C-alpha cells in the first residue's frame, strides 16, 4: 500500500482570455498561485486565437514554477491559427491536450489528467441526433471523437492515484444553471458524461459557461465550472489527497 502523501495543490481556471491588453492582470493572477503543484487551464486561453495573444500566456507560463496543463476553447479556434498558437505555447512548457492525456508524479503520488476541448450536442430533450444534413452529422461525429478521447484517456490513466478530466465545454447541466436554457445545447453535451460516470475520476473541470454555476456533479463525481466570470476570482485552488478533494 502506498504511504500517505501530502495533498497535491492544484490551481484551475478557464476563460482567462489572455491578450496584450490584460497582460499585467494575468501575470498577477499566476503569481498568486506560484506555490501550486499544477496549474490547469480549461480553454479560452486567448481572446480570439491570435498568436500575439497566446504569446502573453507563453511568457507567463515560461516564468511560472508550477507545470501548466491546458485544453483549447472555442475562442482559441476563432482565428483558425491553432497551428501557430499551440507550438508557441508548447515551446513555453505548456502541455496542450488537444485531445490527450498526461501524467506526473508529485511527492510519490501519480496524477493523471485527461484533456480535450469537448463540443456541443445538447442535453436530454434537446440533443443533436446523428441524422440529417451532412454538416450536422459532422458536428455529431466531432463530438463523438471528443467522447472517445475522454474514454481512452481515462483508460490510460486508470492506475494513477489521482485522476482529473479537463474540458472547455460543459458535460452536465448542473453547472449551466444561470445560463438561458435556450443556449444550453451550444454550451456542451452530456454525451461526455458517460465515460466520466463509468470511470469516476476525482474531479472534472470545465469553463465556457460564463453565467453558469460553479459546482455540479456527474453521479458522485464533482464537476466545477472554473470560468473566471463564474468564480469571480482568478483561480479555483484545491487539494487532492487520500481523503479526496478539498477546496483551499
Query: Phi, psi (5° rounding) for residue 53?
Result: -75, -45
* Residue ranges making up the domain that contains 195: 8-247
**Is 1 within the bounds of a domain?**
no
**Is 148 within the bounds of a domain?**
yes
Number of structural domains in the chain? 1
**Is 83 within the bounds of a domain?**
yes
Look up the pTM and report it: 0.97
Q: pLDDT > 90: what percent of the chain? A: 94
* CB atoms closer than 10 angstroms to residue 42: 32
Nearest to 240 by CA among 163, 155, 165: 163
pLDDT at residue 125, as a whole number: 84
Per-residue confidence band for 6, with pLDDT thresholds at 50, 70 and 90:
confident
**Is 3 within the bounds of a domain?**
no
Containing H/E element for 215?
Answer: strand 215-218
Cα 222 from Cα 237, distance rounded (Å): 14
**Is 2 within the bounds of a domain?**
no
**Is 196 within the bounds of a domain?**
yes
Cα 108 from Cα 190, distance rounded (Å): 34
Peptide bond just before 99 cis, omega within 30 deg: yes
Give the pLDDT confidence of 168-210 residue by residue, as tens digits.
Answer: 999 999 999 999 999 999 999 999 999 999 999 999 999 999 9
Give the pLDDT confidence of 40-85 residue by residue, as tens digits.
Answer: 999 999 999 999 999 999 999 999 999 999 999 999 999 999 999 9
Distance of CA 217 to the CA centre of its chain: 15
* CB atoms closer than 10 angstroms to residue 126: 12
In this model, does residue 5 exceed pLDDT 80?
Answer: no
**Is 57 within the bounds of a domain?**
yes
Per-residue confidence band for 243, with pLDDT thresholds at 50, 70 and 90:
confident
The answer to whether the beta carbons of residues 20 and 53 sit under 8 Å apart is yes
Per-residue confidence band for 3, with pLDDT thresholds at 50, 70 and 90:
low
Which triple of cell numbers denotes residue 138?
459532422
Q: How many helices (H) and strands (E) in the chain?
A: 7, 12
Give the pLDDT confidence of 91-125 residue by residue, as tens digits.
Answer: 999 999 999 999 999 988 999 999 999 999 999 98
**Arithmetic mean of pLDDT over the chain:** 96
**Is 163 within the bounds of a domain?**
yes
Helices (H), the chain: 23-32, 51-63, 74-77, 82-91, 134-156, 193-199, 228-231
Which CATH number covers residue 136? 3.60.21.10
Cell 449551466 -> residue: 176
pLDDT at residue 1, as a whole number: 39
Per-residue confidence band for 221, with pLDDT thresholds at 50, 70 and 90:
very high
Amino acid at each position: 500500500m502506498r504511504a500517505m502523501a501530502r495533498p497535491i495543490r492544484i490551481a484551475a481556471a478557464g476563460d482567462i482570455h489572455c491578450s496584450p491588453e490584460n497582460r499585467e492582470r494575468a501575470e498577477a493572477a499566476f503569481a498568486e498561485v506560484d506555490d501550486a503543484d499544477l496549474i490547469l487551464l480549461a480553454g479560452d486561453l486567448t481572446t480570439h486565437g491570435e498568436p500575439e495573444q497566446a504569446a502573453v500566456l507563453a511568457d507567463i507560463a515560461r516564468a511560472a514554477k508550477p507545470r501548466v496543463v491546458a485544453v483549447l476553447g472555442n475562442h482559441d479556434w476563432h482565428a483558425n491559427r491553432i497551428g501557430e498558437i499551440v507550438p508557441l505555447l508548447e515551446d513555453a512548457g505548456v502541455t496542450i491536450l488537444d485531445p490527450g492525456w498526461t501524467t506526473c508524479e508529485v511527492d510519490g503520488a501519480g496524477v493523471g489528467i485527461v484533456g480535450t476541448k469537448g463540443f456541443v450536442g445538447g442535453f436530454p430533450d434537446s440533443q443533436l441526433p446523428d441524422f440529417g444534413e451532412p454538416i450536422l452529422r459532422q458536428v455529431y461525429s466531432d463530438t463523438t471523437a471528443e467522447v472517445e478521447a475522454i474514454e481512452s484517456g481515462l483508460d490510460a490513466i486508470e492506475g494513477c492515484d489521482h485522476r482529473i478530466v479537463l474540458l472547455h465545454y460543459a458535460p452536465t447541466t448542473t453547472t449551466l444553471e444561470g445560463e438561458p436554457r435556450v443556449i444550453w445545447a451550444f454550451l456542451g453535451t452530456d454525451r461526455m458524461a458517460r465515460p466520466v460516470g463509468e470511470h469516476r475520476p476525482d474531479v472534472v473541470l470545465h469553463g465556457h459557461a460564463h453565467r453558469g454555476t460553479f459546482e455540479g456533479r456527474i453521479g458522485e463525481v464533482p464537476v466545477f465550472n472554473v470560468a473566471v466570470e463564474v468564480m469571480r476570482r482568478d483561480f479555483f485552488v484545491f487539494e487532492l489527497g487520500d481523503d479526496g478533494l478539498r477546496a483551499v
